[in-house]
Structure 1
Amino acid sequence: MDLSAELSEFLRSRRARLKPEDVGLPEFGRHRRVPGLRREELAQLAGVSVAYYTRLEQGNGRNVSMEVLDAIARALRLSDAERAHLTHLAKPTAKKKQHRAAITRPQQVRPGLQHLLDAMDGVPAFLIGRRGDILAWNRLARALMGDFAAMEPQERNMARMVFLGDHARDLYLDWECKATEVVSVLRLYAGCYPDDPALLALVGELSVKSEEFRSLWAAHTVTDKGHGTKRLRHPLVGEMTLAYESMKVAGGDPDLMLVTYQAEPGSASADALRLLAQWGVEEPADTLT
């Protein structure tokens, strides 16, 4: 993945989403030739010369200081995840280069982590790794999300399941939001590991097979997997609103996340989740997420 091109496209896309009135600038004239802020307007807000910002937006991040990146991030009103992404693109470090050597090795799930998942009996929980790979899960996650054990390892990937699977659109009532989230998290990972061959293969496959993925990938949206709610429609227990939490797992692997789902106590969703837990998963519902 070409970091210079990624830096250029990311900055252009973030500048295009801002209007002069969004940042307190007057808008002169009724017609603007470019969407969003002009380069000179952004440079003025960031306190850098137009020539300097132009070089950066053209993908030349060599020798740019963190102070300048912070100023540009503030001017563009970047989120924390977007600010981190900008730094990854503009200032790849030796540490990141060392990580690239490790990304070709399969991620391992310690037995203790699987035991933890299994102990979370009333909570759907799973471990997600690089590129959105589903690495381990518990009984209720399998009942809620699909029979991971019956899938080929390369198919246990959140992006493949959302864009290429048969059931994600039925399961997620807000499929478009889920799709945007999946692509945005994948974008953040791509900024950290642009030379990951498996990532390049995944993006290539999805770009060929899914027009929706191509469109979302081109938008350069970036976010980190955090917390929120999901509205689901399960074929056995009906609609549920579940809160999810994402937490990094300690132990030396920065790309391993624990994801859990839970329902509000006393709610209809809690009843549905409890019913699903009691249903048994000897033959889990044929759904994917």
Structure 2
Amino acid sequence: MNPSSALSEFLRTRRARLQPEDVDLPDYGGRRRVAGLRREELAHLAGVSVDYYTRLEQGRVGNPSETVLDAVARALRLAPDESGHLHRLARPADRPRRRPTTRQQPRPSLLRLLDRLDHTPAVVMGHRMDILAWNRAATALFGDYGALPVEERNIARITFLDPASRDLYGDWADCARENVAFLHLEAGRRPDDPLLAELVGQLCITSPEFQHFWAEHPVADKTSGRKLFHHPLAGPIDLAYDTLRPADDPGQALITYTADPGTPSDDALRLLLSWSASR
């Protein structure tokens, strides 16, 4: 994953999603040769020369200032995660160097928390979206990760390559795109991680949908939200998910899934966990 080419792709996709009316620029009509804003329009909004912005988008500016990058981020209407991603891609010298690592091991404190969540589906996820650990409630909801080879215990890999995931997730396309957005974020943080690059490469080859989403260059952290599941035994279950990260080790996280009390989803989840425990 080359930071220069990633920067070019990121800026092009963000420029393409904006129209003149989105940024209060006059649209003089006529057919545009490219989708979205022109480079000269973006340069005007950011307060830089067209030549400078062109070289920045082509990855030919060695060390752009944070002030310029902030101006470009504002012009492109970037979200906070996207703005941070832009800074990491454009100023690789500022990024802490991380030596390539092997497969992560779950943090002991997260394992202790996991063991205490008997009635809450939860997994420990690594920065490559590897499933490092899970509890019995997660097995009831998602299936038995232990039946998979270690190298296949990966949320993104399962989402795109396991046909059962398309039936399980009521909003499969949204879930899939969220996974790609998180992998893009991590690729910007860890461009020298060979296992992450291998995962992205394999998914681009084996999944046309992953390749399509990857080319759009979505960027977002995995934080919290809701997911609708269509479980083959329990039926529809609407759950909230939360991502809990240790402050001193953000490279792995505990993800929990909970139902709103007193709802049909709460009843369905309780029945599912009770049935699973009785087995």
TM-score of the pair, normalised by structure 1:
0.93
Tell me how far apart the structure 1 counterparts of residues 102 and 205 of structure 2 sit (CA, whole Å): 26
SS, match of residue 167 in structure 1: helix
SS, match of residue 132 in structure 2: strand
SS, match of residue 136 in structure 1: strand
Q: Residue 199 of structure 1 aligns with which residue?
A: 196
Q: Residue 260 of structure 1 aligns with which residue?
A: 256
Decide whether aligned partners of structure 1 residues 110 and 142 sit closer, same or farther in structure 2, where only a CA change above 3 A counts. same
Partner AA of 1:232 in structure 2: F
Tell me how far apart the structure 1 counterparts of residues 278 and 135 of structure 2 sit (CA, whole Å): 13
Shift of 1:111: 3.2
Q: Which has the higher contact order (CA 8 A, sep 6+)?
A: 1
Alignment of 1:232 onto 2:232: no
Equivalent position to 1:272, from 254, 268, 271: 268
Shift of 1:220: 0.6
Tell me how far apart the structure 2 counterparts of residues 32 and 94 of structure 1 sit (CA, whole Å): 37
Among the aligned pairs, what percent are the same residue? 55
Q: Residue 215 of structure 1 aligns with which residue?
A: 212
Task: Report the aligned-residue RMSD.
Answer: 1.4
Equivalent position to 1:145, from 139, 142, 147: 142
Contact 2:110–2:254 (8 Å) recurs in 1: no
Structure 1: which 5+ runs fail to align? 284-289
Tell me how far apart the structure 2 counterparts of residues 58 and 95 of structure 1 sit (CA, whole Å): 20
Shift of 1:150: 1.6
SS, match of residue 92 in structure 2: coil
How many residues are aligned here? 279
Q: Residue 26 of structure 1 aligns with which residue?
A: 26
Q: Residue 12 of structure 1 aligns with which residue?
A: 12
Tell me how far apart the structure 2 counterparts of residues 70 and 61 of structure 1 sit (CA, whole Å): 15
User: Cα deviations across residues 237-272 of structure 1 (Å, max 9, x unaligned)?
Assistant: 11011011112124x422111111111110000001
Contact 1:123–1:261 (8 Å) recurs in 2: yes
Alignment of 1:3 onto 2:6: no
Tell me how far apart the structure 2 counterparts of residues 237 and 223 of structure 1 sit (CA, whole Å): 31
Q: Residue 41 of structure 2 aligns with which residue?
A: 41
Tell me how far apart the structure 1 counterparts of residues 53 and 245 of structure 2 sit (CA, whole Å): 35
SS, match of residue 21 in structure 1: helix
Contact 1:15–1:36 (8 Å) recurs in 2: yes
**Within-5 A mapping of 1:163-174:** 163-174=160-171
Structure 1 runs of 4+ with >3 Å offset = none
Q: Residue 55 of structure 1 aligns with which residue?
A: 55
Q: Residue 176 of structure 1 aligns with which residue?
A: 173
Structure 2: which 5+ runs fail to align? none
User: Cα deviations across residues 118-143 of structure 1 (Å, max 9, x unaligned)?
Assistant: 21122111110021101011110111
Shift of 1:95: 4.9
TM-score of the pair, normalised by structure 2:
0.96
